[in-house]
Amino acid sequence: MFKAGLEPKLNIIKRYFVSCTQFYLREKTVPKVTIYDTPMLDELENGEWPSFITSFKRLRDDHPDERINSMVGGLLGQLEHSYETRMGWWKGGTVSVFGYGGGIIPRFSEVAEHFPESKEFHTVRIQPPAGNFYTADILEQLADDWEVHGSGLQTFHGQTGNIMFIGSTTEQMQPFFDKLNSYGFDLGGAGPCVRTAMACVGAARCEHSCTNEQGMMRHLVNEFQDDLHRPALPYKWKIKVSGCPNDCTNAIERADMAVIGIWRDEMKVDQEEVKAFVADKGRDYVIDNVTDRCPTNAIKLADDNTLVVNNKECVRCMHCINVMTKALAPGDDTGVTVLIGGKRTLKIGDMMGTVVAPFLKVDTMEEIEYLVELTGEMIDFFAENALEHERTGEMIERIGLVNYLEGIGLDLDPNMVSEPRQCSYVRMDGWDEEVKKWYDKKAEAATA
Amino acid sequence: MAADRPQMPIESGAPDGFQYMHPTMRRNFGLWKYHERPRPGVLKHVAHSGDEIYTIRVGTARILDVYTLREITRIANELGDGFIRFTIRSNLEYMVDSEAKVAPMIEAIEKAGLIVGGTGPTITAPSHTQGWLHCDIPGSDASGVVKSMMDELVTEFKREEMPNRVHITTSCCQINCGGQGDIAINIQHTKPPKIAHDLVANACERPTIVARCPVAAIRPAMVEGKPTLEVDEKKCICCGACYPPCPPMLINDAVHTTLAIWVGGNHSNARGKPTFQKLVAAGIPNNPPRWPEATALVKRILKVYKEDAKDWERMNDWIERIGWFGFFEKTGLPFTKFHIDDWRGARNSLNASTHIHF
Ligand code: HEM
Ligand code: SF4
Ligand code: SF4
Ligand code: SF4
Ligand code: SF4
């Protein structure tokens, strides 16, 4: 794991050495790298927002390592060429590290004869620590290692959530990965596989958190690392965990599996804080901005300036809590809602995840293991039943939610629909058996 | 260097975030009480224990060179507590345990050319994709679009003056990796792929490509005695889905690849259910290096939203109140036949009522 002690000290010495060398080189030598004209990109150095072009030029012009100067110089040349031609000039290929199938995004230049310095410019996807936490020291260690093996360019993070180390050659992939792997980092997913997962900041710093987002994310994705590193699914499977229905990781819209913290008991109301808020903002403000915006009219401001919440009708949307963070809070009986099938446009259009488990407790190890097993069932079902290049949401659209739920063994619940069927064209000759199932389940739940 | 013998990977997966977390956050994990925003760009979270943590949120260029990164870590170590995290929109966050550290850090951050803001009702950092810089299928350069646009919106990043938060996203192909947003600036292709027939047989698995097309417009064909694919150009919706698995079906075009703007995507369940973004403008030239037409349209929409929306109304909430009639009227954008959906489930988007806006 993370090597405390010696390693950071070595880094400091190394950096001191590097900056001395840099100073020395700047004095003594004229850069030997080709400087391509970039009149269009230069325009992106104007303005107040930080400029990625200025960043690139710093590496091209100031870095002590000529390998980096020339590689980023080539990148700038090729990018200018893209701006001129309005076309991309990278193509894919196959590059991987020993023992794994995916995780490196290979990029070979199609205009390498003009910009040979960046003819190979592969990206390494690395799974970030859950919740995207870093110490300055670990960031420096990552950057130091990439500086040795790559271009000195990195992104925290790509849209799926990976750390992206951008730009290096095939032979640098293995030694770079081995280093990171030795201090606790692992490659991310790419291709038809379980992908790198994401968790919101949640319990670490957010009063709305209803679950241990980071723990949950690691339980769910780390169990399936084999499926992440060796792409063998019909298509991708993304997991995102948000601690409350604000869904800061955009899980419903962007993940095949969205796990979202929620509570089933009463919302906590601190009436003294409510009164203080009303005194500060006025009744009108509270009515306009809090109670009137409730989607189910579940909250009202009483004459004595307290809030009355109808918890049976509250759908846990978070709005009132977001506005009155001191006065209102989620309840104590927390768990998660699981929604399945979110994805972006390809192939049948954007889809949101829909509820397959309205509420699961995840307090005990047993409860967490149940969710992990359920995830396994869902991945297996996807592997066996999806067509090639079909996402889970599209598969469910094709086979119907009922078949999906039966396939993975989940119970029906009216919370899974926004409304029941409206067309009578359906065969219902099994009605009585289904009714019996419903009552049996109810009885089972009552005795449990 | 190690021996030549390859090393088997340690399949450790996602690392534990705890080891890199500020001790105040570790100590108060799951025990936070409320938060305030003492000034734009700064969050103050207070735990039930009374402990406080201050967060400074910072906009960056997203792709970081090693010098910028070391400047960032230097500020964390010298002026802060040495802890950093990133939001999903690639905003950088410094966490410190006392208010006294905040002002000196902000000064150093701004001196380093980075921007403090992005909290609460601001236009926060756009989430965007790779584009020409590094993707193999891009129609545009997301980083360039975002940089030029944020140069003009930076004041709104720094001040909490919008009705509610504004999430902008940018995608450089119609796969739309950038995700849903209050405003999305996405590629829209307008001509079918141009096929390099002599390359198809070697580069593409033909049955797979046929299956990939959302409207079944591709069929196997022979051209000059070679197996290839052809596209029924009347059927083709120019989505570009055939291009990633079959690069000879070139969809990108210097003129006919354009930009479109979509609004009203909202991931949160607050108030209404989450929503997808809807088309409002297209035919915008893909115009590097600064894409002025796209930025001008985004600013036009934002101006009306800022003036007209009530507090806490996200873009979609606002439009729900004023209606799409109101949106097109107030923004002055043209409403065309392309705004009327004809994809799956399109009927659900039609108005089956006498609810008419005047
Ligand atoms: C050959 C092609 C492709 C390349 C090079 C590519 C590249 C990328 C990159 C670099 C990211 C960010 C990665 C990260 O955060 O780790 C990303 C994310 C994404 N990609 Fe792709 N992509 C490709 C094909 C596709 C396809 C075919 C789809 C369609 C279904 C797709 C859908 C997405 C989505 C939806 C995201 C955002 C993920 C999220 O919201 O979490 N991509 N892609
Ligand atoms: S999803 Fe909820 S718990 Fe997680 S960071 Fe956002 S508001 Fe907090
Ligand atoms: S959380 Fe949402 S649904 Fe529940 S009372 Fe508050 S505003 Fe209403
Ligand atoms: S949006 Fe399209 S072009 Fe842009 S990075 Fe994603 S896959 Fe590549
Ligand atoms: S661009 Fe889209 S619609 Fe046209 S042929 Fe290719 S996959 Fe089919």
User: What is the C-alpha separation between A36 and A80, in angstroms, rounded?
Assistant: 9
Residues contacting residue A342 through CB under 8 Å, at least 6 positions apart: A251, A252, A253, A254, A255, A256, A258, A351, A352, A353, A393
Q: What residue of B is the nearest CA neighbor of A80?
A: B289
A206 lines ligand 2 (CB under 6 A): yes
A8-22, A365-379, B181-195, B232-246: which has the minimum mean pLDDT? Answer: A8-22
What is the fold of B17-116?
Answer: Alpha-Beta Plaits (3.30.70)
Q: Residue A328 pLDDT > 70, yes or no?
A: yes
CATH 3.30.70.20 fits B194-250, yes or no: yes
Q: Do domains B17-116 and B194-250 have the same CATH topology?
A: yes
Q: Residue A390 pLDDT > 70, yes or no?
A: yes
pLDDT tens-digit map of A272-300: 999 999 999 999 999 999 999 999 999 99
What SS3 class is residue A89?
coil
What SS3 class is residue A64?
coil
Q: Residue B6 pLDDT > 90, yes or no?
A: no
What's the pLDDT score for residue B177?
86
* Domain spanning B131-190+254-341, CATH class: alpha beta
DSSP assignments along A215-278, one per residue: HHHHHHHHTTHHHHHS--SSS-B-EEEESSTT-TT-HHHH-SEEEEEEE-SPPEE-HHHHHHHH
CB of B317 closer than 8 Å to CB of B265: no
What's the pLDDT score for residue A3?
41
pLDDT tens-digit map of A197-210: 999 999 999 999 99
* Segment (H or E) for B52: strand B52-59
Distance of CA A396 to the CA centre of its chain: 22
Model confidence band, residue A448 (pLDDT cutoffs 50, 70, 90): confident
Domain residue spans in chain B? 17-116, 131-190+254-341, 194-250
What SS3 class is residue A357?
strand
Interface of A with B in 400-439 (CB under 8 A): none
Enter the DSSP assignment of B353.
Answer: S
pLDDT tens-digit map of B20-53: 999 999 999 999 999 999 999 999 999 999 999 9
Q: What residue of B is the nearest CA neighbor of A1?
A: B15
A167 residue type, one letter: G
**Residue holding tokens 């010298």?**
B78
Residue of B8, B20, B190 to mutate for A, most A C-beta atoms under 10 A: B20
The encoded tokens of residue B311 equal 């507090």
A328 lines ligand 3 (CB under 6 A): no
CB of A87 closer than 8 Å to CB of A97: no
A208 lines ligand 2 (CB under 6 A): yes
- For ligand 4, the distance from its centroid to the CA atom of residue B255, given in whole angstroms, is 19
Tell me whether A206 touches chain B (CB under 8 Å): yes
What's the pLDDT score for residue B91?
97
What's the pLDDT score for residue A30?
53
% of chain B beyond a pLDDT of 70:
99
What's the pLDDT score for residue B5?
66
Q: Give mean pLDDT, residues B115-139.
A: 95
The residue nearest atom 2 of ligand 3, judged by CA position, is A317
The encoded tokens of residue B117 equal 């803001």
A324 lines ligand 3 (CB under 6 A): no
Which residues in chain A touch residue B35, judged by CB atoms under 8 angstroms apart? 206-207, 325
What's the pLDDT score for residue A4?
43
CB of A153 closer than 8 Å to CB of A72: yes
The residue nearest atom 2 of ligand 4, judged by CA position, is B173
- For ligand 1, the distance from its centroid to the CA atom of residue A173, given in whole angstroms, is 21
Phi, psi for residue B24 in degrees, rounded to 5: -65, -35
What SS3 class is residue A348?
coil
| ipTM of the complex, rounded to two decimals | 0.96
- For ligand 4, the distance from its centroid to the CA atom of residue A69, given in whole angstroms, is 27
- Using alpha carbons, select from A195, A201, A184, A179 the residue that is nearest to residue A133: A201
Model confidence band, residue A15 (pLDDT cutoffs 50, 70, 90): low
User: What is the C-alpha separation between A275 and A280, in angstroms, rounded?
Assistant: 8
pLDDT tens-digit map of B251-299: 999 999 999 999 999 999 999 999 999 999 999 999 999 999 999 999 9
What's the pLDDT score for residue A8?
45
Q: Burial level of A366, CB count in 10 A (0-12/13-18/19+)?
A: exposed
Tell me whether A169 touches chain B (CB under 8 Å): no
Q: Residue A267 pLDDT > 70, yes or no?
A: yes
Q: What residue of B is the nearest CA neighbor of A81?
A: B132
Ligand 5 residue neighbourhood (C-beta within 6 Å): B 192-193, 212-213, 215, 217-218, 231, 236-242, 251
Q: Residue A10 pLDDT > 70, yes or no?
A: no
Residue A218, beta-bridge partner list: none
Which among B129, B145, B252 is the best mutation to test ligand 4's pocket, defined by most ligand atoms within 8 Å of the CB? B129
What SS3 class is residue B270?
coil
What's the pLDDT score for residue B176?
87
What's the pLDDT score for residue B4?
62
Cα dihedral across residues A142, A147, A149, A151: positive or negative: positive
Residue of A86, A210, A355, A423 to mutate for B, most B C-beta atoms under 10 A: A86
User: What is the C-alpha separation between A386 and A389, in angstroms, rounded?
Assistant: 8
Q: Burial level of A91, CB count in 10 A (0-12/13-18/19+)?
A: middle
Alpha helices, DSSP H, located in B83-185 = 102-111, 142-158
CA dist A203 → A114, A261, A419, B17, B338 (Å): 51, 11, 34, 12, 44
Q: Residue B204 pLDDT > 50, yes or no?
A: yes
What SS3 class is residue B164?
coil
User: What is the C-alpha separation between A120 and A108, in angstroms, rounded?
Assistant: 5
Beta carbons of B59 and A49 less than 8 Å apart:
yes
Instruction: Work out the minimum CA distance from A329 to partner chain B, whole angstroms.
Output: 8
A131 lines ligand 2 (CB under 6 A): no
Which among A246, A249, A316, A336 is the best mutation to test ligand 2's pocket, defined by most ligand atoms within 8 Å of the CB? A246
Q: Give mean pLDDT, residues A407-426.
A: 96
- Using alpha carbons, select from B101, B76, B97, B100 the residue that is nearest to residue B86: B76
Distance of CA B298 to the CA centre of its chain: 14
Tell me whether B240 touches chain A (CB under 8 Å): no
Interface of A with B in 88-147 (CB under 8 A): 88-92, 97-100, 105, 107, 121, 123, 127-140, 143, 146-147
CA dist B264 → A272, A323, B318 (Å): 36, 21, 9
A323 lines ligand 3 (CB under 6 A): no
Instruction: Work out the minimum CA distance from A244 to partner chain B, whole angstroms.
Output: 9
CA dist B26 → A95, A278, B29 (Å): 39, 34, 5
| Average pLDDT value over all residues in chain A | 93
Across the interface, of B63, B140, B177, the residue whose CB is closest to A52 is B63
Enter the DSSP assignment of B47.
Answer: E
Tell me whether A302 touches chain B (CB under 8 Å): no
pLDDT tens-digit map of A148-168: 999 999 999 999 999 999 999
CB of B277 closer than 8 Å to CB of B264: yes
The encoded tokens of residue A200 equal 């919101």
Q: Residue A23 pLDDT > 90, yes or no?
A: no
Phi, psi for residue B280 in degrees, rounded to 5: -125, -30
What's the pLDDT score for residue A13?
52
Beta carbons of A88 and B76 less than 8 Å apart:
no
Residue B266, beta-bridge partner list: B275
